[in-house]
Amino acid sequence: GGGTAEISVISLGDMVNTSSIRVGGNKFDETIVKHIQNVHNLMIGQQTAERLKIEIGNVAPDKNIEKMEIKGRDAITGLPRRMEIDSVEIREALKEPVNMIIDEIKSTLGHTPPELAADIVERGIVMTGGGSMLKGLAKLISKETNVPVILAERPLECVALGAGEAFELFKDMSSDRAMYDRINS
**28 lies in a domain?**
yes
**38 lies in a domain?**
yes
**125 lies in a domain?**
no
The pLDDT assigned to 54 comes to 95
- What range does the domain containing 97 cover? 5-112
**100 lies in a domain?**
yes
**98 lies in a domain?**
yes
Could you say which residues of the chain have pLDDT below 70? 1-2, 174-185
The pLDDT assigned to 28 comes to 95
CATH of residue 13: 3.90.640.10
**126 lies in a domain?**
no
The pLDDT assigned to 81 comes to 97
* Predicted TM-score (pTM) of this structure: 0.84
CB under 8 Å, gap of 24 or more: what pairs does 91-94 form? Answer: 91/57, 91/58, 91/59, 91/60, 91/61, 91/136, 92/35, 93/31, 93/32, 93/34, 93/35, 93/36, 94/28, 94/31, 94/32, 94/53, 94/57, 94/59, 94/134
The pLDDT assigned to 177 comes to 63
The pLDDT assigned to 178 comes to 63
Question: What's the CA gap between 49 and 26, in Å, rounded?
Answer: 10
**161 lies in a domain?**
no
How many domains does the chain divide into? 1
**149 lies in a domain?**
no
